[in-house]
Each structure stands twice: as structure tokens, then as C-alpha cells.
């Protein structure tokens, strides 16, 4: 496979499950998309015609418990982050993600089912150079005691996560990961969603987590892990945060060349850092070609309107 070319899926592949927040059954179908399309959610099963939403930072309308994408008519698809992480993590540039319900199915709480669907569909290269967003200077955001920063990095995309829970079973964990498909499959993609037992009742009363169970969430109380099958990794929580970062930062619309560090972060912090980066036209540029090689070259001057196509549309001023 030529890694400097854009990729998409060879065929369609579906997974079926329930939404972790809604508890509703949903089928998700991954499929091919043209060059420069990025990731496009297609919401079917609505009255009237299907609705599409581009998986970009400006379509994010909530980050409270999951990353929710929508448009001016309201939310379209919730819990977008794990399937997006699978696509970005496995090196897919362009894909459609069709869902027949309001939420991506949670499956086992990790990206494993989506990786399996990508394997089933197959990945093909497309006749166009891969385009990437190269970070040119550090951008940081502080929210309460959370801290996030994205900075230039010599090659590829690196994620560094630190978590620090007062819950003694989770406690402090850190994990660093240089994104590559095989590493993603082995080390990050299988890490599951986690939560605290004491939060579950609160979430239920707020109408969230209705589909949460031990089949899709790693649950802790103050003394122990409650899942009978145990952890997949000793630091599974930190690894899952890395998975979430890869999904949330895929909303840049293109793969990133840079290093992202998150301390006590979550979806809100990830979105805030990405938004701050994209808002500063001196902090990034679009390049073509393989990340790690010197062949990467700028596509045009940043902020001059030659960033082109969907990127300009995604990050340009709101003219509507």
C-alpha cells in the first residue's frame, strides 16, 4: 500500500448494537467515499430524506458525555468518537458512516468491532495524495484542572494522556502512543469505555447511560473493578482516553502531524484544543504526502483561501 495516497474502504460492512446513552438498537454501516470527502455520517431512518453531517469540529454540538455531531436543526449522531478513532487509527482517509438511529452503537465499549468492520470491508488507495494538517506552533487550553496542548512533532501523530482519578482503583495512569495502524489495533483499539458506579445512577436519572452495562463499560467502585472478566490492560483507562483523543481529533478533517498532550482531559478539552488550533491560522498548514518524510510539502499559504475544498469550508468563517 502506498502510504502517501488517500485511502477509503473497498466495500460496505455493518455492525449492529445499542447506543450507550439511548439504549436504542442501531445498525452502523461503513462504506467508501470519494477523494477529499473525509468522514461523513449519514443518518437514515428519519421521516423524509436522509441527513448528512461532515465529521468536523464545527459540527460538534455537545461534548458532555460523548461527542455529538449535528447541524442547525439539532443533533444527528451521538457518541461519534469510537468509530472515528477506528477509521483514523487504521489509516482510512475517506468513508461514509451510515447510522439508522441517533447514536453510534457502543458495541463492547472499544473500537474493536469497528476495526473488524474495516478489516471486513478492506482498505484501498485512491488516486490522490494524502493531505494532512501540520501543527506549526504549540496551542494549549486549560479548563479547570484539565490541561491540553498540541505542539509540532518531528513525524506522525503522537498522543500523550495522563489521568488522575480520586478513585483509588483507577488512580494515576499515563500512556503515550505514536499512531500507526498495527499499534492502534493491538494497543489502543481494544481499550474500553470506563466509569464509576457512583456516577451511573446520576447518569440514569439524567437520561444518559441507559444502554450501559458490564458488556460495554468497565465499571469501578471505590474498592475494586466490578467486571468479572477483568481488564484487558492494567492501564486500560488511560489507553481508552488515547482512543477518545484519536476520535475527537479526527474532527480536524484531515490527519494531524503533531503531538497532543492531555492531562485530566476528556471530550470537552479535546474539542477545545482542536478548535483553538484551527482558529489560529498561523498555527497550522495543510501539507501533502507522507507524514514522516521530507516529501511533505505545503499545499498553500495558510489562511489565503488556497487551503482548498472542504477544509476551507470546514474552518472558514461562518457565512450562513
Q: How many CA atoms lie within 13 A of 50 on its CB side?
A: 13
Nearest residue to Zn ion by CB is: 244
Our CB check for Zn ion shows the closer of 125 and 167 to be: 167
DSSP classification of residue 57: G
What is the closest distance, in whole angstroms, from the C-beta atom of residue 59 to Zn ion in the complex?
Answer: 18
Which of 103/244 has CB closer to Zn ion? 244
Our CB check for Zn ion shows the closer of 91 and 195 to be: 195
Catalytic member of 21, 82, 240, 267: 267
How far is it, in rounded angstroms, from Cα 85 to Cα 92? 10
Helical pair 112-121 and 81-89, crossing angle rounded to 10 deg: 50
Contacts for 46 with CB less than 8 Å, ≥ 6 apart: none
Q: Give the nearest distance from C-beta 254 to Zn ion in angstroms.
A: 22
Instruction: List binders of Zn ion among 182-201 (CB under 5 A).
Output: 193
Cross-strand pairs, 26? 17
- Would you say 100 or 244 has its CB closer to Zn ion? 244
> Do you know the residue count of the chain?
320
Q: Minimum Å distance from CB 311 to Zn ion?
A: 26
Q: Which of residues 233-252 bind Zn ion (CB under 5 A)?
A: 244
For the chain, state the CA radius of gyration: 19
**Least distance (Å) from Zn ion to the CB of residue 262?**
13
What residues numbered 101-140 form the site for Zn ion, per CB under 5 A?
Answer: none
Has 267 been annotated as catalytic? yes
Q: Which residues contact 255 (CB under 8 A, 6 or more apart)?
A: 88, 93, 130, 132, 133, 157, 291
Partners of 149 in the beta sheet? 140, 261
Q: With CB under 5 A, what is the number of residues at the site for Zn ion?
A: 2
| Sites of contact with Zn ion (CB under 5 A) | 193, 244
Enzyme catalytic residues: 267
Amino acid at each position: 500500500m502506498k502510504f502517501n495516497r488517500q485511502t477509503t474502504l473497498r466495500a460496505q460492512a455493518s455492525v449492529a448494537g445499542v447506543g450507550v446513552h439511548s439504549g436504542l438498537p442501531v445498525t452502523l454501516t461503513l462504506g467508501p467515499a470519494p477523494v477529499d470527502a473525509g468522514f461523513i455520517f449519514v443518518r437514515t431512518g428519519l421521516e423524509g430524506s436522509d441527513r448528512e453531517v461532515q465529521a468536523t469540529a464545527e459540527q460538534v454540538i455537545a461534548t458532555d458525555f460523548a461527542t455529538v455531531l449535528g447541524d442547525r436543526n439539532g443533533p444527528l449522531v451521538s457518541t461519534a468518537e469510537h468509530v472515528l478513532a477506528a477509521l483514523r487509527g487504521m489509516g482510512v482517509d475517506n468513508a461514509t458512516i451510515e447510522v439508522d438511529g441517533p447514536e453510534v452503537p457502543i458495541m463492547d465499549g472499544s473500537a474493536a468491532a469497528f476495526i473488524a468492520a474495516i478489516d471486513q470491508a478492506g482498505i484501498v488507495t485512491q488516486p490522490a495524495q494524502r493531505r494532512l494538517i501540520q501543527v506549526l506552533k504549540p496551542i494549549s487550553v486549560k479548563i479547570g484542572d484539565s490541561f491540553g496542548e498540541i505542539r509540532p512533532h518531528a513525524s506522525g501523530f503522537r498522543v500523550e494522556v495522563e489521568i488522575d482519578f480520586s478513585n483509588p482503583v483507577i488512580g494515576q495512569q499515563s500512556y503515550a502512543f505514536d499512531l500507526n495502524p498495527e499499534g492502534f489495533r493491538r494497543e489502543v483499539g481494544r481499550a474500553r469505555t470506563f466509569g464509576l458506579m457512583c456516577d451511573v445512577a446520576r447518569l440514569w436519572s439524567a437520561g444518559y447511560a441507559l444502554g450501559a452495562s458490564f458488556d460495554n463499560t468497565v465499571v469501578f467502585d471505590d474498592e475494586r473493578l466490578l467486571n468479572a472478566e477483568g481488564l484487558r490492560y492494567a492501564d486500560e483507562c488511560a489507553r481508552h482516553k488515547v482512543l477518545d483523543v484519536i476520535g475527537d481529533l479526527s474532527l480536524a478533517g484531515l490527519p494531524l502531524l503533531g503531538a497532543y498532550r492531555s492531562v485530566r482531559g476528556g471530550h470537552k478539552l479535546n474539542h477545545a484544543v482542536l478548535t483553538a488550533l484551527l482558529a489560529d491560522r498561523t498555527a497550522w498548514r495543510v501539507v501533502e504526502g507522507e507524514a514522516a518524510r521530507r516529501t511533505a510539502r505545503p499545499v498553500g499559504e495558510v489562511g489565503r483561501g488556497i487551503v482548498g475544498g472542504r477544509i476551507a469550508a470546514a474552518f472558514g468563517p461562518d457565512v450562513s
